[in-house]
Structure 1
Amino acid sequence: MKILLMLGLQISLLYAQSGLDSLLKNISGTPDTTKIKILNDYTWNNRNNRPYEALRSGEEALTISIAIKNNKLRAKSLNLIGVVYRNIGNYEKALGYYKNALHFSETAGDSSQIAYSYNNIGGIYRLVGNYPLTLEYVLKALKIFESMNDKEGMAFCTINIGLVYKNQEDYSKALEYLNYTLKLRNEINDKAGKALALNLIAETYVDIKKTDIALQYYYQSENEYKEIGDQKGLSAVWGGIGGIFYSQNLIAKALEYRLRALNLSYKIGYIEGQIAHHNNLALIYAKRNDTLRAENNLRKALSLANGLKAAYIQLECYRYWSQYYEMKKDYKSAFGYNKKYVALKDSLLSQENISLVKSMESVYKAEKTEKENAILLKDIELKEKQRNYLIIIVLLVVAISLVTYSRYQSKKIANENLKELNTVKDTFFKIIAHDLKTPFNAIFGYTELLKKDFDKLSDSEKLSCIDDISRSAKQNFQLLENLLMWAQSQSGKLEFNPKKLDVKKIIENSADLLFHLAKNKSVALEIECGDVQEITADEQMMKTVFRNLISNGIKFSNPNGKVVISANKENDKIRFSVKDSGVGINDETKQKLFTKNRVASTTGTQGERGTGLGLVLCKDFIEMHGGKIHVESQPGEGSEFIFTLAVG
C-alpha cells in the first residue's frame, strides 16, 4: 500500500512538472508583470491539488518580481508560497514567507496584501495554539478588509476567528462566525470558500454530537468540492463522513471512506489530513481487533504531528491513543495518554487565553461601533449644510424664473402669457408652501430633537431620526433638480446638445444614483438592454428622464417589489420602458399625468412626496427628441411608462 502511494505521488509530480513547463514556455514572451500575475494565479489554483507544482510556480514568480524590483507583486508571491507551505504542514517555513510578505507589502503600501499577511500570520499562530496572538493579527486584517469592503478578505478572517472559537470549544460563537463566512462566500459566488465553510460547519456539529445535521453539511460540501475538483477538500469531507459512520457503528462504510480519504491526502501531500485519517483508521482497526494495524496508524499519526509542531493536532493524537488503550482495556496506558491530553488541553484552553480572546473581540466591536457613530454624526452635519444650500438655490430659481417669464410677454399674446405666468407662479408657490416646506419641517424637527434629547434617546431612536433627515433631504434635492430643469426648459435657456450615447451606460448611471433609495425600500432594479447599443440624444435630458421614471417606479412600488428598465429596437424606433410592480394608476389619474396645468402632489407607498413635475419634464424632453411617451397601467397591477425615440 505504501509503495503504491509513493508511486502515485511521483507520477503526479512528473505530470505537474510537465504542466508547469508547458505554461512557462507559453508565457516566455509576455511582459514580466503579466508573467508574474499568471504564475501567481497558477500557484493559487494548484495550492490544494498539486502543492509542489504550486511551490515551483510561486518561486518562479518571486524570482521575476525580485529582478524587476516590484515589491507589490513580490509580497503577493510570498503570501501565496506561504499558503502552499502551510497546506503541506511546514508551518515554520510558511510563517517566514508571511512575515517577508508583510514587510514588502508595507514597503509597497499595498493595503490588500498587508491585510492578507496579517491574516496568514494569525492562521499559523492558530495552528500552533497561540489563540490570543491569532486574534491580534486576524483582527488587524479584518479592519483593513472592512475598510475596503473586500468580502473575500473578510471571509478569510472570519473563518480563522470561527476556528479559534471551535478549538476553544465555544461552539455557538464558532457557528456564528462560520455561518457569517458562508454568507460572505455566497455573496461573492466563491465555490471553494463556500465548500470549506460548509465542511467546517459540519465538523462543528460533529463536535456537539448533532451528526444528522453534520452529515447534511458534509454532503453539501462534497458536492461543491467535486464541482471544482478540489482534492484536499474531498479528503477532509470523506474523512468527516467516515467519522460519522464510525459513530453509527457502520464500520465497513467508515473504513471505506477513511481509506479513500487517506489515499487522496498522500497523493496531494496533505499532512493534516494524513494525521486525522491515520488516527481514525486506528480506532476502526481496533474495532476489528487488528491490533498491529491500529498501533501502526497511531504511531504514524503522532510522528507526523510531532513534525508539524502543531499543539492542537498533537492534542488529538494523545486523545486517540487514550481511546485506543481504553478499547483494549489497558487502563494504565489509557490514563497515561489521557494525562498528556489533559495537560496540553489545559494549556491551550486556559481561562486567561479564553478571556483574552473574548476581550480582543469586544474591543474590536466597540471600535467598529464608535467609528460608525462618528460617520453618522458627520452625515447629520452634511445634511444640515445641504438643507441650507437648497433653500438658497430654490429662492434663486424661483426669482430667476419669475423674471424670465415677465420679460417674455408680448402685446399680441399678453393675455395668454399672463395666464401661463399665473399658473406657473401658483405652482411654484404651492410647491414652496407645501412640498418643500413639509420635508424642511421634518428636518428642523428631528435636528432639534437630536440637539435637545441626544443623551436621552436610544441608539435605535437616533438612527430613526437620522434616516428621516436623510430621506427628507434627498426628497428636497430631487425636487429642486426638477424645479431647476423645469425653469430652464420653460424659459428657453435649456441647451439641446444631442450626441452619441451608450444606452446601457446611461441607464446604469441613472439607476446607480437611485440604488440606495431602492435598497432602503427593498425594491430590486433590473436592466435589460437587448441589442440596443447607442442613441443620439442630449445626455443631461436623458439622465433626467430615466432618473424621474425610475424614481417614480420605486416610489409607487411596495417593499420587495421590482422596477425593470428595458430598451429594445423596433424597426426604425427604439422602445424604452420603465415597468414597476407597484400600486398601479386609475384611468382618471392617467389623463392628468403629463399635463402642465394639473401638476399636483402625490404620495408613494411609504409616504414619499412628489409634485408630478418629473413626468412633465420627461414628456417635454422626449418630445424635444421627436419621441412620444405614454403609460400603461391598471390599479393593483403596476405601471409601465413607455417612450420611443428614432434610431440614429
Structure 2
Amino acid sequence: MSFLKTLVCNGCCMPVRQRRLLLFFSWLLFFTTTITAQKRDGQVVLPVFTWLNDSTQIVDELNQRALWYQPRQLDTCFFYADSALKMATRLHYVKGKATAYKVMGNYYAFTANKYLSYRFYLDAKQAYEALKDTVNYCTVLMNLGIYFQKEEEHASAQQAHYKAMELGRQLKNDSTYGLVLANYYYIHRADSTKRDSLSWALARAREIATRYHDEKTLLYIGLLEVDNAYGRTSFQHIQQRLDSIIAAAERQGFIYMGMYGCMQMAGYKGMLGEEDSILYYQKMVDLAVRGSYKSLIIPEVRHLYEYYKQRKMPAAANEYSRIMLDILQYRQQTKQRGEIDYMAYFTQDQDVKLLQMAYERRQHLLEKKRMENRNVGYALSFGVGLLIFLAVITMNTYRHIKSAKKTSKALKLANEEIIIKNKLLTTNDDFKNMLISLIAHDFRVPLSNILDITTLLKIQSFTLEEASAMIVKVESAAHHTLLTFDNILRWIRSQLSGFVYHPEPCWLEGLINIAQKGLEHLIAGKDIKVSIKIPPDFQLYANPEMLQFVHRNLLHNAIKFSPKGSEITVSAVRSNGMVKVSFTDQGKGMAAEVLETLFVFGGQRKQHAGSSKGAGLALIICKDFITKMGGHIQAENNEGTGSSFWYSLPDKP
C-alpha cells in the first residue's frame, strides 16, 4: 500500500468493458458530464463529437482524462487510458503511447499486478527517453524507484530515485520536482540517520506544491508529514490533522487520498488499542469500493471479517466475506484482461517492425535495379560509339545478350527470394509450433484448476471457512499462472527482438528458497524433504529472472519424479571459474534414449517414468536460457538410484 500511494499524482487506468455496450445517447450524456467536470478542474477540453474521429489531440485529451480520474475512479481512468493507447497505436503517435504506457503502469500498480506495472513503466521509460521528454522521463524513473523499494531491491531503488532527483532539480517552471522530493521520504524513511534531510525534503516539496496550487500533491504531502510527526507530537494533534486531510480529500473528490488517510488513522488507533479504529477501517473499505481501489484493501476486509466474526455478528461478517470474494474475482479478471491486452500491444509492435523491414527490403531492391539499369545504359552507349560500323550485327547480338542477362538475373533474384521465404516460413512454423506447445503445456493445468475451484464455489455448498480456503487456492493458482506467463513472454521477446545479456550478481541460496516456496503444495503433497546444501553467501553471475525459471523447472522435475517420502538435494560447487548447481532426486532414473534427446526440441523421445505429456518442453527453454548466459546444462543417472540435473555458469561477470 505504501508503494501505491506514491503513484497518485502520476496517473493510472483500467477499462470498464460494460460501458461499450451502452447506447449512443448514453455516450453523449456521459461525455458531456465528463467535460463539465474537467472544465472545473481547469483543463482544456475538446468538443464532444470530435472524439468520434482519430487524432493526436484526442489521444492527448483521453490521457488527460485518465490522469484526472486516477485518484477519483479507477475503472473510469482505465477506460480513457485504454482508449488512448489503442488510438495512439493506430496513429503511430509515439508521445500518446508513452503517456498511456505510464498511466497503465500506475493502474496496474493500484490493482496489485506488479509484473504488468513494471513492464508498462519500462515501455514508457524507453519511449520518453527516445522523445527526450525530460519531465515525464523523470516521473517514470521515480515510479521505478518506488517499485524497486517495494520489491526490497534497495540499491536499484536508490539509483533510480537519485537520477530522478538530478533531473527534477534541473526542471524549470514545473512541479514535478516537488513530487520527487516527497517520494524521497518514502525511499529513505526507515533510515534514522536521514531524519533532518527527510524533514527538509517534505518542507521543500510543500513549498513547490503550494507555488503551483497542486491540491492533489499537497494532500499527499500532508499524509507523509503526519507519518513523519507520529511519535514526536501528541496523538490528539495527529488525529485532528488526519481527520482534516480525509475531509478535504472527500470534499475535493480525491477518493484514494481519503481512503489512504483512513487506513493510516486506523493503523495508529489499532497500535494504541482504541476500539473506534474499526470505524476508520469501515470508511476505508467504503471509499475503496466506491473508487474501484478494491485490490488494495484485502488485509483490511479480512480484519473486519474477523472482527465481526469474533463478536458473533454474522450479518456484518457475511457482508465483508462477500466483499472479499468480489475483490478476489475482480483481481483475477483484471490480471487476465491485462495479460491479454499487453500481449496484443506487444504483437502489434512486432507487426509494425515486420512491415518496416519489408518496406526497407523493397526500397533496397528498387535501388539495386536502378543501379543495374544505369550500368547497362552506360555499356550500351559505349558499345554503339565504338562499333557503329557493325551496327546491325552488334545491336542484334547486344539485344540477345541483354535479354539473356535480364532473364538470368530475374531467375536468380526469384530463386534467392524463394529460398529466403522458405527459410523464414520454416523458422516461423517451428517457432509457432514451439509457442503453441509451450502455452498449452504451461497454462492448461493451472487454468483448469482455477475453473474447477470457481465451479465448486458457485455450487454454494461449503461453509464460509471452506470457501475462504478455496479462494486462497484460486489466488495462489492465478499467481502461479501469471509467473508462467511472465517467463513465456520473456522467452518470446528474446527470440523475436534479439537478446542482450547483462549478468548480475545472484545469491544462490535465496533464489532456491524462493523457487521452493512456490512449489510447497507439491512438496507437502508427496511428503518430500528438500535439502539445500548451499552457503548463504554463495554467489554467481546471471540474469536473475532467467535463472529462476531454470530453478523452478528443475526443482519441479525432481519433485514430479521422486517417490513419496524421499529426499531431494540441491548443492553447488565452485571449480575453475564456474559454479555447478545440481538437483538430485531418488526416483527411478531415466533410459539412455531419453537422456540423449532431453533438451532437443522436436526430437523423438520416450517419457520419463511417471511423467506427463509435454514434460520436456520447459527443459528446452532452460537449455536456451543457460546457453544464452554462457553456461551448460545436463542430466545424468546417479550410480545408486535416481537422477541429477545440473547446470554450470561463470562465477564472475
Give the structure-1-normalised TM-score: 0.41
TM-score (normalised: structure 2): 0.40
User: Of the two, which has the highest radius of gyration?
Assistant: 1
